[in-house]
Amino acid sequence: LREGRVETFLARNLVPGDVVLLNIGDRVPADIRIYEAIDLAIDESSFTGETEPAKKITGPILKSNGHTSKKNIAFMGTLVRCGNGKGIVINTGEKSEFGEVFTMMMAEEAPKTPLQRSMDILGAQLSSYSFCIIGFIMVLGWIQNKAILEMLTIGVSLAVAAIPEGLPIVVTVTLALGVMRMAKRNAIVKKLPTVETLGCVNVICSDKTGTITKNEMTATIIVTPDGHVADITGTGYNDRGEVRIRKSDNENVARAALKSLFEVGCVCNNAIIQNDTLLGQPTEGAIVAAAMKFGMYGTADTYLRLQEYPFSSEQKMMAVKCISKYSDDRQEVFFAKGALEKILPQCTKYSANGQLYSLNQKKEQEFLAEAYEIGQQGLRVIGLARGTSLQDLVYVGLIGICDPPREGVRESISILINSGVKVKMVTGDARETASAIASLIGLDTLHMRLMSGDEIDTMTEQELEQIIDNVSVFYRVTPKHKLAIVKALQRGGNIVGMTGDGVNDGVALKKADIGIAMGKNGTDVCKEAADMILVDDDFKTIIAAIEEGKGIFYNIRNFVRFQLSTSIAALALIALATLMSIPNPLNAMQILWINIIMDGPPAQSLGVEPVDKDVLKQKPRDTKEPMITRSLIINVLLSASIIILGTLWVFNREMSSMGITARDTTMTFTCFVFFDMFNALSCRSQ
């Protein structure tokens, strides 16, 4: 709103002081101080991790603590779920809360991957050892009065052969093929070395809302007053799923009770589902979706709404007064839904087996006990009632709603834990919700601690580092807390993977050794910060990525083993010949030719070996362990010894009394190549 006229233009042209009109479905273009709000609720899950939209008010707030307490501010990048309002732009771009998180993220440097660190150390080690041995051979030849030019030629040839110049090619090709395989499995990797990092990850910190769960409220259980219980399958705002009635003596009576309950839920409702997209409150959308799964479409259209008593945080219930559109009975009917402890006091009767019974205190306690039991599982309990007046309602049942874990998450976490990867859940949600979801997905909440963001604020970095291994769930956390958690884990020597989908995850995703963003519902900030994007938002894809990462490292190590055994064999062969004062078994051209052949197809093929399915059962590799381990050195020396002894035996057998001939070196060269080919097959089987 500029100069009294409503205009539409790009968000980047907004300036502080502009008046913005907000309607349902709008993306908030800047940080806005709201001065007019009519039933305005904004989805801030990308900032706070809260699934339920935040109700907005217009009055001043004397003290604020985090995003959730700033109830008179609409934050840039959030989504208007219901209602409408007006506000004044107070911050744009980098000055907005969204911009501050982005600036914090850009200030964090992405660490080097374990593979890059291993390759740096390996390159330095190979170069120093090779040049020392070549220098020793040249000095020894000079002492023995051998031709300097000949020794120099041999030295240069050995230097070329000893340095595995094929290593960068093999590493790049192996990683590139890994990236291609990952793309086919719905994971887009932005940087090549990232693929292998997944094989080293020993801690995964996962955001809850939108990552472990779908960020879509779903009705999962219904309990009617006559004791009928129904489970609802399927997730999301659609009709894919069914309502399954548990054991019932009379299924027709049970279905009639469910129909009555869904009728109340749909009529006392402002949500609309169009093409699997929700317009309105997630909780109301969950009830409409459940009714659709029961085969009830357009139920609200059969009634004419006369009056609405909107939901408020004080009343904790919503009611509507209606009359039937198509019935001759024009009697007014009230439909109500809300917190059970607010609904039951308005009820005088309850419906059971198609009959109405008087609601006594004993029955009321039974209904409250049912609600408490469902609430303990982390579900939000909604009570439903109908009647001729708001003081004379008939209780028709309750419905349990939650943001359920994605399909396959529990199995994936079980596989990760069994393979030595610790999983920690990080969420902005309340303790009860976080604990319930953690139990559902198989995290240990009995023996491990649950820690809040406020507790992290009171700790020093050292205190957090000491206690963090005993914490499985972090709740009520902000972007600053998530960053502190990742840093504390890294200081403890862990390789940390961070998964997330919201603006509040961006900083931690950038700092983690590997940041994993959700592709479908993830914000642009988290996709920018992440190293890998899951196209289908499926947590199970992480398992495939870890499998790929471990396989790639073993392929690279097999290649290094093959290259080292070839290089050591060639160096040792010439060194022994020089020490024994016999002619060199191989000339400079043959040494270079062996290098060309062995750096070619045999070496390259080791880098593209398919991943062994059992690789997942192995623990994440220790990044402190060098690429060249003791067992690898023993294997390399054993292989090199066999090549050297076999080649020297052939050279000695073929060498004639007339001195060394072209036939002798050719036989030696052929023997060396054959030995090395068998060596390649041996490395492949490791």
Alpha-carbon Rg for the chain, nearest whole angstrom, is 34
| Cα separation, 222 vs 381, whole angstroms | 10
Residue in 391, 290, 384 with CA at minimum distance from that of residue 347: 391
What are the start-end ranges of the H helices in 316-394?
340-343, 361-375
Instruction: Quote the tokens at residue 308.
Output: 């609405």
- Residue 207 annotated to the active site: yes
Q: What is the dihedral of CA 570, 574, 577, 580, to 10 degrees?
A: -110
Angle, CA of 37, 321 and 257, to the nearest 5°: 115
Let me know: does 31 contact 75? Beta carbons within 8 Å: yes
Q: What 3 state SS string does 427-441 have?
A: CCCCHHHHHHHHHHC
Residue 568 CB neighbours (<10 A): 23
Cβ contacts of 652-659, under 8 Å, gap ≥ 24? 655/583, 659/583
Q: Report DSSP state, residue 213.
A: B
Instruction: Quote the tokens at residue 202.
Output: 């020993």
Q: Report DSSP state, residue 1.
A: -
Let me know: does 669 contact 570? Beta carbons within 8 Å: no
Q: Report DSSP state, residue 26.
A: P
How would you class 180 by CB atoms within 10 Å of its CB: exposed for 0-12, middle for 13-18, buried for 19 or more? exposed
Kindly tell me the sign of the dihedral angle through the C-alpha atoms of 538, 544, 546, 549: negative
The one catalytic residue among 18, 31, 43, 207: 207
| Cα separation, 226 vs 242, whole angstroms | 21
Q: For the chain, what is the largest distance between any 2 Cα atoms, rounded to a whole number of angstroms?
A: 123
Beta carbons within 8 Å of 207's beta carbon, 6+ residues apart: 49, 426, 427, 499, 500, 501, 502, 504, 505
3-state secondary structure (DSSP) of residue 7: coil
Residue in 480, 637, 477, 664 with CA at minimum distance from that of residue 571: 637
216: left (phi over 0), alpha (psi -120 to 50) or beta: beta
Strands (E), 167-257: 187-189, 203-207, 218-223, 229-232, 243-245
User: Would you report the helix, strand and coil content of the chain in percent, each value rounded to 5?
Assistant: 45, 20, 30
Q: Which residue has the tokens 């976490």?
A: 413
Instruction: Quote the tokens at residue 646.
Output: 């076999």
The residue type of 319 is: A
Residue in 529, 429, 631 with CA at minimum distance from that of residue 107: 529
Angle, CA of 448, 452 and 454, to the nearest 5°: 145
Q: Which residue has the tokens 């809360």?
A: 97
| Cα separation, 501 vs 210, whole angstroms | 6
> What positions carry a catalytic annotation?
207
